[in-house]
Structure 1
Amino acid sequence: PCRTSSFTEMFMNCRVPSSKRYQPTEYEHAANCATHGLWILPSLVGGSLLYFHSMDQWHRVAAWLYGSGLTGLFITSTLFHTAAWKIGHLRCLEQRFHMCDRIAIYFFIAASYSPWLMLRELGPWACHMRWLIWVMACLGSMYVFFFHERYKLVELLGYVAMGSVPATVILSMRAGVCELAMGGILYMVGVFFFKSDGLVPFAHAIWHLFVAAGAGIHYYAIWRYLYRPEDLISVC
């Protein structure tokens, strides 16, 4: 049996077996929606700023890819958590939103790497990684479509692999590596909370905050080192 204090019960339900989905409390539902919904407008503005400060066609394409991936992540996450909160009894529809949320993560990871791979000279492997990351995103999406929530550990490892493999290509950079590493560390630490529903109150909302913080640091790095050439310290 689950034993929690009356105060904790207001903000967190009991942990469930791995075969079942955790059911957030009303407070957790609201926090899950707010912690990503609040970033939709800033991500739209941020992507637009990159686009309008683009110097050439490749900068515009990279800005469009990155802005779309960033905004799409926050929109799909907010839509899913809103659906889970308000129409959770419509299990089939909620499941579709959940699949879209999981798919958006793959494309967000690919979009986050695209500006660096497209706008920096990083050697021959970067040319292959530019399209390989999108192949990985498509394969991950197919996995979600056919095996959604059947093998949760496999899905988590897929995200980690896609987030770490392209990083081996951009480690040769000097300017921007510290920011990228810091953002990556925030994502990795946030995974602890992602897996802590029923153990830590508002665990999923805390995970959302780590995602937003990591994305913010990565956006700053892209803005400073790829779209503000006067701020460049060194060019790789």
Structure 2
Amino acid sequence: MNNKLRPDLQNIIDQFLDLTADHQVLKKSLTAREEINNSLIMASNRAQKQLDILIPQVENFLEYAKKKIKEQKTRIRLLEDEIEITQCENSLTEEKRREEIDNLTKAHESQLENLKTNYEGEIRRLQLTIESQKKSVIVKQNLTSFRVRIVINFYLQIDKLTVQAKKNSNLDHPAFQAPFKPLKKPKAKKSTVQAFNWPSLDVEVSQSIKNNEEIAVKKKRRLYTPDDENILDIDIDTLSDDS
């Protein structure tokens, strides 16, 4: 006699096996995403270290720019003093002296303005580089968080489907909780003169009418295997169309 489960029970077991396989796949996917997350964290740490190195360099650059500006101002003052001494020694007129000072001052101011413009452009470029690296790190962190949330949602969905499958199942017998194992054939028994009376395969179902609806009463169905004469009692709840 064929020892197979009913199609609906076999379908539930197949769904459970499919969910188990999906769980293993998602578990491997989570491991891969954790490796990606670790790589992103390492990249973020490297970017932070680069920022830690770059910021002191910018500060040193600013200090150097201030020092150069101060030196230029000192040089201007020295040149002005030299012009005054030269004009006094050569008996230059006040107008010529003023013109030379103005020309020298404008030339040095132009040099200072160019130097200041170059320094400010370099500072802006470094600031834009720092902001770009910060945004890149934030985008990578957000992407990692999004992927982790997707994996968590997959696991929550698996848990929800597992709970729903358990709620929809009416199988309480321990045989359906343990993994499937093929039955072992017992050793051959000595034949007896007395004939074996096979149990009846009929299922007794009592029905009562309530509110014009048919409700199947819980009964026990006796299943057996002719190979080893094992008999299992299974409680079948609320069978209507499947009985």
Normalization by structure 2: what TM-score?
0.27
Which is richer in strand?
Answer: 2
**Structure (1 or 2) with the larger CA radius of gyration:** 2
Normalization by structure 1: what TM-score?
0.27
Q: Point out which structure has higher relative CO (alpha carbons under 8 A, 6+ apart).
A: 1
